[in-house]
Structure 1
Amino acid sequence: MTSHLIRDARLIPLAEGDRTPDRPVDVLVVDGTVTAVGPALERPDGASVLDAGGRWLMPGLWDQHVHLAQWTLASQRLDLAGARSPEDATAMVAERVAAYPEVPVIGWGHRSGGWERDVTVSELDAVSGDTAVVLISGDGHHAWLNTTALMHLAMPVRDSVVREAEWFAAYPRLATLVGNDGTSPEAYRRTLEHAASMGIVGIVDFEFSGGAEEWAERWAAGADLLRIRMATYADTLEHVIAAGLRTGDTLPGCDARATMGPLKIISDGSLNTRTAWCCDPYADAHRLEYPSGQPNLSGDELRDLLGRAHGSGLEVATHAIGDAAVAEALAAYAETGARGSIEHAQMVNRDDVRAMARLGIRGSIQPAHLLDDRDLTEKIWPGRAERCFAFRWMLDDGVTLALGSDAPVSPLDPWLAIAAAVHRSADDREPWHAEQALTPREALAASVDGQPTVAVGSRGDLVLLDADPLAGFEPGAETAKVGEALRTMTVALTMVAGELVHTTL
C-alpha cells in the first residue's frame, strides 16, 4: 500500500459555491484515494511527506482528444506551420532534401486553407526528386505527397492532395516509409513524462492505428505513466466487440489505468480542408467540388455504427465540425439512443446546442483551435463566427464540456487550451467573440474528467500548481493578463492513482 501526506496545500474550488478551507490543509492519499483532508493531519506509518508550501491543489488534468502516436512523432517532422504559401512549403522541402537526400521528408502543420491557390504534386516533385515527401496538413485531414510517396504508399498517382477517408486509410502505412522508431515504448514514455510535467493525468487516445494488443506491449515496456482511454474506429470495431471490450473495461495486459474508450466516427471533414459539412456554402465555394462540404458517411451508415456500438456497450465520439454535421450526428444519437460526445462542434446552431444538452451528449472541445482558425473562419465562413467555438452557449444550456487539444493539430498543452477558452486570443487583438468565453473556474472544471474539488473519496489523481489559476479574474474584466498567467502556469507535482509521476518539490 502506497501513501502520501501532502502538507500545507490550498484547495482550488471547481464549482461556484464550493466550500473550501480559507487556509492551507493537509491531504492524505492512501492506495490511490484521498482518505483525509484537514489541518495538521497525523502522518501514518510509512507515508511519505510532501511539503506543498502553500501551493494550489486540484484534481489532475485530462486531455480528452489526442492522436498520441502522431503527437509523439511530431517532434521529428519538418515543421511547416510557418509556411504562408505553396512556395514557402516547397522551399522548406528543398532545403531538407538537400541536407538529407536519402531520408524521406514527413512534414506537418501547413494550413493551406489560407493560401491563394491549390497545390500540385508536380511542383513538389520538382524540388524533391526521388526522395519521398509527405506533407500532412495542420488539421490532419489531407496530405500533400510527391509521386514517389504516392507510389510507395500504394495510392493512385494524381496531381492533387489526398483527402479525408483516403488519407486516413493510408496514414498507418507511413511506418513502411519511415519505420516505427518514433513510436517505440520509450518514445511514448517521453511523451507521457512531458504531459505529466504539465499536470496531465489522463489521455483519451484517438490514434488511427494500433489497438489493445499494442497498448499491452507498450504498457509492459514502461509506457504506463498516465491513465489512458483507447478509442477504436469502424474498421476495428468488430474486433473490439469480439474481444468483449466495453467502454470502461480494463485493456487486456494492462492495469485499471488503461481502459477501453469510445468508438470514434469522423462524420465530416475540417475547416482548413473545406470539407466540414455546413448548412450554407463556403465563401469560396466556386473553388470547391462540394460547395458546402460533405458528410463522410450516409445517414444510414452513421446510424448503423452508432447502433452497433451502443448495443455492444461502447460510447461513441463523433467528429462533427460543420453545423450540418453536428445536426445530423445529434439526430443519429437521438434515434439510436447511443451515448457519448460530439468532438469539436466547431460551428453550431443554438437549437442543436440545446439538443446536445437534452440528449446528454458531451461537448468535447479544443479551445486552442480557435487561435488558429480565427482568421480563416472570418474569410470562408463569413457571418457565422458568432456560432463558432460556442462554449458559453454550451455551458449555459447544460452541455457537459470536456477540454482537449487534438494534438498534434494543437500542442498537447492543457494550459494553452484553458487560456484560449478564457481569453480567446493569441495576440494583441481583442478576444474573438468574448461572449462565448469561459471563466477560469469553468475551464478548469471542464479539464478534470468530471472530478470534483479535492475531498475525501477523490481519486488520487492530483496536480499541485505553483500559482493560483483563479487569481486576477473578475467578470467583465480584461482577460489578457489572466490568459497569459494560465498559459505560463507551472506544475510542482503530478500524481496518478496515488503514485508520483512528476515533481519539482
Structure 2
Amino acid sequence: MPSILIRNARLVPVGADDDVPDAPVDVLVERGEVVALGAAVERPHGVDEIDAAGRWLIPGLWDQHTHLTQWTLASQRLDLAGARSPEDATRAVAERIAQHPDLPVIGWGHRSVGWHREPTVTELDAVSGETPVVLISGDGHHAWLNTSALMHLAMPVRDSVVRETEWFAAYPRLVTLVGTDGTSPEAYRRMLEDAAARGIVGMVDFEFGATRDGWLERWGEGCDLLRIRWATYADTLDDVIAAGLRTGDPLAGDPRLTMGPLKIISDGSLNTRTAWCCEPYGDAHALDHPEGQPNLTGAELRGLLARAHTRGLQVATHAIGDAAVREALAAYAETGARGSVEHAQMCRRDDVRRMAELGVRASVQPAHLLDDRDITEKVWGERSERCFAMRWMLDDGVDLVLGSDAPVSPLDPWLAMASAVHRSADERDPWHAEQAISVREALAASVDGRPTVGLGSVGDLALVDRDPLLRDLGPADTADLGRALRGMSVATTVVAGHVVHDAR
C-alpha cells in the first residue's frame, strides 16, 4: 500500500465530544492506516507529501446504496425527470428518434405517480414504430416499454407498464438492446473518478443482475480506484455460497473490493404505489392493491434471511412502506440475521425503537424526500410525519447510514447531508423539520462509522475546502446550512493511502 504524509490539516470532530487540536497537524498514513499525527511529523524516506494548507480533514465519505451500472449508464439515457405527463414523455421520445432513428431509446427518470393518468403501450407505439423504447421510472421499480421492446426482451405484450419483480428480472436483458459500451471499464472509471471528486472513498453496489465476475474483471481493468462492497441477490446467492464467501471477504485478493450483503427487495416503491403499507393509499380506489404489496411471502423472506445468516452474510432488506419495515424487522428478529433496512421511508415509532433493539441499521437516502415530498402528501397524507424519520432514528439509538440510491438521486453525499439537515429543495419551509438532523450527525452518518481521524484510523481520508461542520456560519437556519453543504468542495481524496483525487 502507498504511504502519504499530509501536512497542515485541521481535524474535524465527527463526534460531539471528540477533542481535536486547535492548530493544524501533520498526518502520516502507512500500510493503510494513520501511524503518526501531530506537529512536524518526520517524513519517512520515499513517502509522498502534500500540503493541506489548513484545509479540514475528515474520514472519507461512503455512499451506502448505489446501483453503479445504472448510474454509469444514466448520462447516456434520455432524461425524463421533467416529464409531467405521458404526452411530455412521448414527445421527448419522438424527438430522440428523429435525431437518432437507428438507435433504441432508453429513458430514465419519469415519475408517473404525479401524472393525470396511466401511460399505455399503444401511445408509445404510435411515436416509435419499430424502434425499441424502454422508459425506466425514476425509482427503478417499473418501466414503460413499447411493443417492439417487449418482444425483443421476450416479455408478454400488454398495454400497461412492467412492474416490480417482472421488471427486475428483465432489466439485465437490456444489454441485448444497447450493448455494453456504456458499461466499459473506461465508463466505470469515469464514474469512480467523479465520485472521488466528491470525497467518496467507498460505495455499496446493489446493481440488479450484476455478478462478482463482472467486478473482478473490471477491477483488473483499471476500476480499482475506490472501495466497493458488492451485494448479491437471490439469483446469485448459490454462487456466493458455493465460493464460501462471507460479508467482508476480499473478492480479488484486495481488501478494497469485498463481499457485501444479500440484497432483498421486499416491497415496491412510492412512485409505483407498490410500497407495502399498513393503511390504504389516498388513491386506493385506482389501485389493484390498495395498500401496496410485498414482493415475497413471509416464509420466503425468512428463508432468505436464515440462509444468508447461517452462511456468514449480512442482509440488506429493501422496505419502503411501514408494513414492509415491520415485516422485515420481524424476520430479522426470528432468524437472528444481521444487516440493514434499506430506505425505511415510512416507519412507525415503535418499529424505529425495535430497529434499535435488534441492532438493525437504517440505510436512508435523504435526497429522495426532495422528490417524494408532494406525492407523499397526496397519497400518504398525515402519515408523511413518519417519513424519513431520521430524528427518531438517532434519538432512539438506531445506527443511521446515508446513501443516494444513484441514479434515483445523484451520487453526491453532500446533497444527501444537505437534504437530511434542511429537508427542502426549494423556497418552501423544511418538510417536517422535526425529523431533521444536525450537520454533525449527517456527517457521522456518511463516513461508514469511522471516528474522528486519529492514530489507527483507516487511511481513507478527504480534505475539504471549508469546515464541513459549518461552524464558521455561527447560528444559522437550515436553509443556509443546506446551501453550504451542497456547495462543499473537496480538495483531495485518499483511499488506503493512495491519492485518488487532487484538485488543490
What TM bracket, shorter-length normalisation?
A: over 0.9
Structure 1 residues 49-90: Cα deviation after superposition (integer angstroms, max 9, x where no partner)? 110010000000000000000000000000000001111000
Q: Distance in 2 between matches of 1:400 and 1:37?
A: 29
Letter in 1 for 2:90: T
Match of 1:455 in 2: 454
- What's 1:147 paired with? 147
- Give the aligned partner of residue 289 of structure 2: 290
**Letter of the 2:275 counterpart:** A
> Secondary structure at the residue paired with 2:210?
coil
* Equivalent-residue separation in structure 2 for 1:262 and 1:133 (angstroms): 33
Shift in Å, 1:473:
8.0
Q: Is this contact kept in 2: 1:107–1:135, CA < 8 A?
A: yes
- C-alpha distance after superposition, 1:141-160 (max 9, x if no partner): 00000000000000000000
Paired with 1:120 and 1:211, the residues of 2 have a C-alpha distance of: 33
Could you list the per-position Cα deviations for residues 414-446 of structure 1 after superposition, in whole angstroms to 9, with x for gaps in the alignment? Answer: 111010001111011111111111111100101
How far off is 1:239 after superposition? 1.1
1:68 and 2:68 equivalent?
yes
The Cα shift of 1:210 comes to 2.4
Distance 1:21 1:428 in 2: 38
Alpha-carbon distance in structure 2 between the residues aligned to 1:21 and 1:60: 20
Whole-Å separation in 2 of the counterparts to 1:479 and 1:420: 10
Q: Structure 1, unaligned stretches of length 5 or more?
A: none
Q: Amino acid of the residue matched to residue 274 of structure 1? A: R
Q: 1:104-125: per-residue Cα shift (whole Å, max 9, x none)? A: 0000000001111111000000
Cα distance in 2 between the residues matched to 1:282 and 1:403: 27
Q: Which residue of 2 aligns with 1:176?
A: 176
Q: CA separation in 2, counterparts of 1:2 and 1:266?
A: 39
Residue aligned with 1:384, SS:
helix
Asked if the contact 2:361/2:400 (under 8 Å) is kept, the reply is yes
Once the 2 structures are TM-superposed, how far is the Cα of residue 460 of structure 1 from its aligned partner? 0.4
Aligned to 2:264: 265
Offset at residue 164 of structure 1 (A): 0.0
Q: For 1:239, what is the secondary structure of its paired residue?
A: helix
CA distance in 2, matches of 1:8, 1:477: 28
In structure 1, the residue matched to 2:100 is: 100
Conservation of the 8 A alpha-carbon contact between 1:472 and 1:482: no
Partner of 1:249: 249
Is the aligned partner of 1:138 residue 2:142? no
Partner-residue secondary structure (3-state), 1:346: coil
Matched with 1:42 is 42
Equivalence map 1:104-503=2 (5 Å)? 104-251=104-251, 253-472=252-471, 477-503=476-502
Equivalent residues of 2:56, 2:464 under 8 A apart: yes
Q: Deviations over 1:297-347 (max 9, x none)?
A: 000000000000000000000000000000000000000000000000000
Shift of 1:254: 4.5
The Cα shift of 1:476 comes to 8.2
Kindly indicate whether the alpha-carbon contact (under 8 Å) linking 1:473 and 1:479 is maintained by their aligned counterparts in 2.
Answer: no
Q: Distance in 1 between matches of 2:166 and 2:474?
A: 47
* Residue identity matched to 1:327: R
CA contact (8 A) 2:356 2:398 kept: yes
Shift of 1:44: 1.5
Mapped to 2, the partners of 1:419 and 1:435 lie a distance apart of 15
Unmatched tracts of structure 2, length 5 or more: none
Per-residue deviation, 1:23: 1.2
Q: CA offset at residue 41 of structure 1?
A: 1.2
Distance 1:473 1:42, change over 3 A: closer
Deviation at 1:2, TM superposition (A): 2.6
AA aligned to 2:101 is P
Q: Partner letter of residue 319 of structure 1?
A: H
Q: Is the 8 A contact 2:2 2:496 kept in 1?
A: no
Contact 1:219 1:254 in 2 (8 A): no
* Residues 216 and 254, structure 1, Cα contact 8 Å, conserved in 2: no
Q: Report what 1:55 is aligned to.
A: 55
Q: Distance in 2 between matches of 1:200 and 1:398?
A: 25
Q: Distance in 2 between matches of 1:477 and 1:275?
A: 39
CA distance in 1, matches of 2:326, 2:188: 36
The residue identity in structure 1 corresponding to 2:321 is: G
Tell me the amino acid that sits aligned with residue 328 of structure 1.
Answer: E
Note closer, same or farther for the CA distance 1:481–1:386 as it changes in structure 2 (3 Å cut): same
RMSD across aligned positions (CA): 1.1
Q: CA contact under 8 A between 2:55 and 2:466: conserved in structure 1?
A: yes
> What is the rounded CA distance, in whole Å, between the counterparts of 1:15 and 1:496 in structure 2?
22
The structural deviation recorded for 1:213 is 1.1
Amino acid aligned to 1:200: I
Query: 2:472, 2:294 → 1: CA distance?
Result: 41
Is this contact kept in 2: 1:440–1:473, CA < 8 A?
Answer: no
Alpha-carbon distance in 1 for matches of 2:472, 2:86: 42
SS in structure 1 opposite 2:273? Answer: coil
SS of residue paired to 1:453: coil
Amino acid at match of 1:248: G
Deviation at 1:182, TM superposition (A): 0.5
Distance change (3 Å), C-alpha of 1:476 and 1:360:
farther
**Counterparts of 2:303 and 2:261, CA distance in 1:** 15
**In structure 2, how many angstroms separate the alpha carbons of the residues matched to 1:51 and 1:396?**
39
* Runs of 4+ with >3 A deviation: 472-477
> SS state of the match for residue 173, structure 1?
helix
| Offset at residue 389 of structure 1 (A) | 0.2
Q: Deviations over 1:438-488 (max 9, x none)?
A: 111100101011110000000000000001111248898511111011001
Amino acid at match of 2:36: A
When structure 1 is superposed on structure 2, of 457-466 and 3-12 the one drifting more is 3-12
1:332 maps to amino acid:
A
What residue identity is the alignment partner of 2:361? Answer: R
**1:249-270, CA deviations, whole angstroms, 9 ceiling, x for partnerless residues?**
011x351100000000000000
Shift of 1:48: 1.5
Does the 8 Å contact 2:263/2:317 carry over to 1? Answer: yes
Q: Please tell me the residue identity of whatever aligns with 1:202.
A: G
Distance across 1 between alignment mates of 2:17 and 2:183: 44
Identity in percent: 74
Q: C-alpha separation between the residues in 1 aligned to 2:503 and 2:280?
A: 52
Q: Distance in 2 between matches of 1:68 and 1:180?
A: 14
